[in-house]
Structures are given as C-alpha cells and as structure tokens.
C-alpha cells in the first residue's frame, strides 16, 4: 500500500464517503474516478492494477463503436463508464470482469449500467455469448496469473488477455505498454511525425520491432494496429502511483480467427508482413481537447 499525500488522502476519504451512497450523480462518479486511490488498500505493483486516468479513458472511447462490450480486468470500470458516456451510437450491453472484489464493489457504484462479474479472466463463466468489442487496460508485464491463455505462451499478462478476448469478441481496443506495441506514437516529439518517413511521406507512427507482438501474431494470428492519433503521453503523470508510456492498440479478431483456421496463402503472408501504409498527417486533436 502506497503512502498518500495529505491532499490525496483527503480526496480519497471524500471519495469513500461518496461511495456509501446508493446512487451517485455524474459529478460524483467523476470525482471518485479521479480521487479514489486503489493503492490505499492494496499493493498495486503485485497485481499490476493501475486504473486508467479519466482523460485517457475518454480519448480511448473514441475508438469504441456500438453494440455489446466486454471489459476484461475492468478495475473500477473507468473505461466502461467513458465508453457509455461518449459513445453516441449506444452500447447495447456491457459486461465487466474484475477479479478484485473491492475494485468491483466500487465499479458497481460507478457503472451500475453494467453487469459485473467478480472473477478471473482465465476462468470466465460459460454462456457470455459473442461481443462486438472487447476492451481492457490489463495488468502489464510478467504479473502472476492463475492460468494461461489458450494459445499465447509468453510472460506478458496483457497479451494473454488479448488472446482470451479473441475468442469472445469481433474487435478489440486495448491500452498496452509501448514496448508491447508494434509502433511508437505516444510521448514522441511532435507525435512521432519527424521520425517516421517512408517514400517521402510521414504517417506519424514509428514502426518498430516488438518481440511480444511478434510472438502474439505467430501464436494467435492477432495483429495490433495504431489508433486514430491518440497520444497517451498527455496523461502519463496522471496515473496513480506510476507513469507508464503506453499506446492504444486496435485489432480485428474476425481476421485473427480466420488466420487461425488455416495457414495463410502467399499473398496473405505478404500482407501480414507488410508495414502499415502511410496515412496523411493529422493534428493531435484529442490531446489538444483534453
């Protein structure tokens, strides 16, 4: 458990008082998300549990579409709440999976619209059905886990979660440590633009080898791709008890399952190995708006 400053402790105490209410207003929900300290009761480094900053969660929601959503390793539901509030197309169903009962209890107050399941993502209950989208800010790195994903055999907890999600949903949006992503954009000078030039055109993303991603692709058929231009570096100092460099990654699980169904053709293999095509530069609107 981390030692809080006087200001943090005072705000956390106020958040605890708010959580005693039966129903919370929208302002109260935001206050709890920003000031309830997950480290006040738990040693977060052991479980890798660091909740998403609210501003980052709202930017993350830009990549979320309509339909059924499952939030794996949901914590107190920050991503889920942002997706509910910022998805103008409408979330038709929302399921949150969280192993820590204390976090889930807070989440049930913050996101009562969701169906909360207190349990391990490695032992999901049957009958959840098919989801349009899986989302997660999972624990990062070689965190102790109860089991393994169906296919991925590496140490990175986050990649095990993505592998599990590929059997549940058609698409995925995840927050990962930058060294697990196959690109660099966040926290780079000018959004990475000066460092990425191919055929005279910069696309804003620095493509770089990633051993975890290479292993994920080889074992699961999953390809992680860049987002629409969200620099998570704007929120690096707003995490509680840590300041990670992260990226928001997207993936198409329908395509991944098709790859797993059989070996790719020569043409498909060339597409998989090909770097992302350059796209026109765009201003960092989301960072500026935050």
- Go through the chain and tell me how many residues it has: 290
Q: Residue 269: pLDDT band by 50, 70, 90 thresholds? A: low
Encode burial over 265-288: b for 16+ CB neighbours within 10 A, e otherwise. eeeeeeeeeeeeebeeeeebebbe
Query: Residue 280 above 50 pLDDT?
Result: no
Q: What is the pLDDT of residues 127-173, one digit of tens each?
A: 999 999 999 999 999 998 989 999 999 999 999 999 999 999 999 99
Mean pLDDT on 59-63: 95
pLDDT at 8: 87
User: What is the extent of the structural domain holding 124?
Assistant: 47-280
Radius of gyration of the chain (CA): 19
| Domain assignment present for 288 | no
| Domain assignment present for 27 | no
The pTM score is 0.83
| Domain assignment present for 192 | yes
Percent of the chain with pLDDT over 70: 79
For residue 207, what are the β-bridge partners? 183
| Domain assignment present for 3 | no
CATH number at residue 59: 3.40.50.150
d(CA 85, CA 59): 12
CB 109 within 8 A of CB 79: no
| Domain assignment present for 37 | no
Q: Domain count of the chain? A: 1
Q: What is the pLDDT of residues 203-244, one digit of tens each?
A: 556 677 789 999 999 999 999 999 988 999 999 999 987 899
d(CA 51, CA 273): 34
| Domain assignment present for 31 | no
Q: Which two tokens stand for residue 148?
A: 């393994």
d(CA 152, CA 217): 9
Mean pLDDT on 271-277: 58
d(CA 215, CA 220): 8
| 3-state SS, residue 124 | coil
| Domain assignment present for 164 | yes
Q: Residue 276: pLDDT band by 50, 70, 90 thresholds? A: low
| Domain assignment present for 23 | no
């Amino acid at each position: 458990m981390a030692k809080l400053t006087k200001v943090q402790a005072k705000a956390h105490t106020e958040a605890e008082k708010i959580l005693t209410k039966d129903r919370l207003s929208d302002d109260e929900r935001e206050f709890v998300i920003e000031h309830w300290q997950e480290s006040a009761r738990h040693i977060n480094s052991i479980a890798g549990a660091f909740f998403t900053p609210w501003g980052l969660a709202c930017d993350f929601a830009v990549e979320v579409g309509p339909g059924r959503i499952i939030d794996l390793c949901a914590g107190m539901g920050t991503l889920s709440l942002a997706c509910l509030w910022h998805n103008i197309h409408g979330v038709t169903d929302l399921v949150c999976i969280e192993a820590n009962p204390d976090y889930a209890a807070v989440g049930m107050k913050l996101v009562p619209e969701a169906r909360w399941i207190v349990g391990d993502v490695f032992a999901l209950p049957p009958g959840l059905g098919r989801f349009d989208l899986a989302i997660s800010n999972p624990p990062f790195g070689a965190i102790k886990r109860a089991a393994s994903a169906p296919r991925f055999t590496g140490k990175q907890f986050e990649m095990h979660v993505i592998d599990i999600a590929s059997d549940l949903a058609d698409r995925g949006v995840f927050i990962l440590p930058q060294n697990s992503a196959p690109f660099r954009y966040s926290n780079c000078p000018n959004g990475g633009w000066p460092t990425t030039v191919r055929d005279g055109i910069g696309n804003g993303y620095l493509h770089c080898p990633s051993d975890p991603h290479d292993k994920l692709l080889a074992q699961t058929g999953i390809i992680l791709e860049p987002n629409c231009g969200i620099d998570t570096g704007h929120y690096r100092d707003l995490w509680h008890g840590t300041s990670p460099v992260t990226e928001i990654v997207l993936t198409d699980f329908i395509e991944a399952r098709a790859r797993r169904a059989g070996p790719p053709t020569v043409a498909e293999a060339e597409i998989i190995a090909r770097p992302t095509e350059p796209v026109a530069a765009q201003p960092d609107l989301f960072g500026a708006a935050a």
